[in-house]
Amino acid sequence: MTDYQSLGVRPLINAYATMTKFGGSLMPPEVLAAMNEAATAFVDLQLLQRRVGERIAELTRNEAAYVTSGAAAGIVLASAAAVLYKQPDALKHFPKIAAFKDQAIVFRSQRNPYDYAIHQTGFKVTEIESDPAALRAAINERSACVFWFARGTDSVEDISLEAAIAIAAERDIPLIVDAAAQLPPVSNLWRFTEMGAALALFSGGKDLRGPQSSGLMLGRRDLIESIRPISNPNHGLGRPMKVGKEEMMGALAAVERYIKLDHAAREQYCEATVQLFCAALNPLPGVRAERAFPNEAGQPLPRCRVTIDQGVIGKSADDLVQAFLTQEPAIAVAPDSDASFYLNPMTLEPGEELIVRDACLKLLDEA
């Protein structure tokens, strides 16, 4: 039997978030069925990418769509598209694109570890203050695109996305939204591009619950067309970021499911789970449990923040985070500070909330 246990790798309950380091998310039966079906026959891969893209575009109200091998790969390809849609000659030159536009504008307040995906294309990152004047001043003949790293409902920028889109449009350069973790709400699948963003990038393996190594590039047809010649199965910058027929069909099934999903019921499950945790933990001495909103990616779903009095409990929050991982079954919870951690219901399977609650009671009671 090929399974995790035989390798000495323990499966865990994920009360943390859609973290890649714990496997991101779980694929529902519809997605697994589509991938299994896809694995049984050969097809023309470029035609499949085109047809899957058309279906995803229709479902997400976009002009065009493309399945990538993840949102990070989407950043690489979207950067390339920002040059290629106007200068297809650059095709053979990546990542040596100094002869072409080679700067991507990123706001200082949105800097994050995914910059390297922009560098991979050969771009220099031009970091600017997050205000309209800085953006106007920064755009020049070397600027290929503006990146916007969306943070959901707790965004703190001095420039609005609307203003950034308008300024990029005045100067005719694409604004690309990295919305990797910006689901829910499902409406984000069309909101950014309807606002005028040239492309919006999503992870297939976070809340969409598609294949881990999948992502969506949604938006303008001219930009999406421009990357086909450098993407799998063609040779070029995108070839190492291969997307298989199984991932394409799995991503499509995930989008179909997500569009139809009862998001209100899901939100209710998350709210009820947070209340369950609060009700169980608050009676314990030295423990305060409360609803926190939105969650770490700014998604409009609640988490439970558990704050402990170390004097009473005798352990730090970090000790507890580690202790959860040694339980049977192991549980990943989200670290926060010396005195607090989060229990996140968004990645729990129904019924697991009781296991997490009981593990909490046991660990905090022992302490």
Ligand X SMILES: *Cc1c(COP(=O)(O)O)cnc(C)c1O
Helices (runs of H) and strands (runs of E) counted in the chain: 13, 12
Q: Does 210 bind ligand X (CB under 6 A)?
A: no
* Cα(97)–Cα(35) distance, integer angstroms: 37
- In the 3-class helix/strand/coil scheme, how is 271-300 assigned residue by residue? HHHHHHHHHHHCCCCCEEEEEECCCCCCCC
Q: What's at 15, amino acid-wise?
A: A
x-marked contacts with ligand X along 29-68 as a string, rule CB under 6 A: ----------------------------------------
Interstrand relation of 143-149 and 103-107 (parallel, antiparallel or unpaired): parallel
Please state the separation of Cα 31 from the chain's center in Å: 18
Tell me the chain's radius of gyration from C-alpha atoms.
Answer: 22
Q: Does 180 bind ligand X (CB under 6 A)?
A: yes
Q: How many other CB atoms are there within 10 angstroms of residue 161's CB atom? A: 18
Report the residue number, 149 or 277, with the smaller CB distance to ligand X.
149
Q: Shortest distance, CB of residue 286 to ligand X, whole angstroms?
A: 34
Tell me the angle at which helices 245-260 and 29-38 cross, rounded to the nearest 10 degrees.
150
The length of the chain, given as a count of residues: 367
Tell me which residue has its CB nearest to ligand X. Answer: 70
Binding piece for ligand X, criterion CB under 6 A, among 6-14, 69-77, 257-265, 300-308:
69-77
* Cα(41)–Cα(39) distance, integer angstroms: 6
Report the residue number, 203 or 340, with the smaller CB distance to ligand X.
203
Q: Which residues contact 164 (CB under 8 A, 6 or more apart)?
A: 132, 135, 146, 148, 175
Q: How many other CB atoms are there within 10 angstroms of residue 8's CB atom? A: 6
Q: Does 299 bind ligand X (CB under 6 A)?
A: no
Binding piece for ligand X, criterion CB under 6 A, among 26-34, 83-91, 174-182, 230-238:
174-182
* Cα(26)–Cα(14) distance, integer angstroms: 10
Instruction: Return the bridge partners of 218, or none.
Output: 65, 200
* Cα(94)–Cα(227) distance, integer angstroms: 12
Find the binder of ligand X among 4, 10, 11, 20 (CB under 6 A): 20
Binding piece for ligand X, criterion CB under 6 A, among 162-170, 175-183, 241-249, 260-268:
175-183
Q: Shortest distance, CB of residue 290 to ligand X, whole angstroms?
A: 25
Structure tokens at 155: 């965004």
Q: Does 153 bind ligand X (CB under 6 A)?
A: no
Q: Does 238 bind ligand X (CB under 6 A)?
A: no
Report the residue number, 79 or 306, with the smaller CB distance to ligand X.
79
Find the binder of ligand X among 178, 247, 296, 353 (CB under 6 A): 178
Report the residue number, 203 or 313, with the smaller CB distance to ligand X.
203
Q: Does 71 bind ligand X (CB under 6 A)?
A: yes
Report the residue number, 118 or 359, with the smaller CB distance to ligand X.
118
Q: Does 72 bind ligand X (CB under 6 A)?
A: yes
Query: Which among 20, 59, 68, 28 has a CA at the least distance from the CA of 297?
Result: 20
Q: Shortest distance, CB of residue 72 to ligand X, whole angstroms?
A: 3
* Cα(148)–Cα(175) distance, integer angstroms: 7
Report the residue number, 122 or 215, with the smaller CB distance to ligand X.
215
* Cα(160)–Cα(158) distance, integer angstroms: 7
Report the residue number, 180 or 306, with the smaller CB distance to ligand X.
180
Binding piece for ligand X, criterion CB under 6 A, among 118-126, 177-185, 237-245, 252-260:
177-185
Number of residues in contact with ligand X under rule CB under 6 A: 13
Q: Which helix (H) or strand (E) holds 53?
A: helix 45-59
Find the binder of ligand X among 94, 107, 149, 192 (CB under 6 A): 149
Q: Does 215 bind ligand X (CB under 6 A)?
A: yes
Binding piece for ligand X, criterion CB under 6 A, among 99-107, 173-181, 189-197, 334-342:
173-181
x-marked contacts with ligand X along 114-133 as a string, rule CB under 6 A: x-------------------
Binding site for ligand X (CB under 6 A): 20, 70-72, 112, 114, 149, 178, 180-181, 203, 205, 215
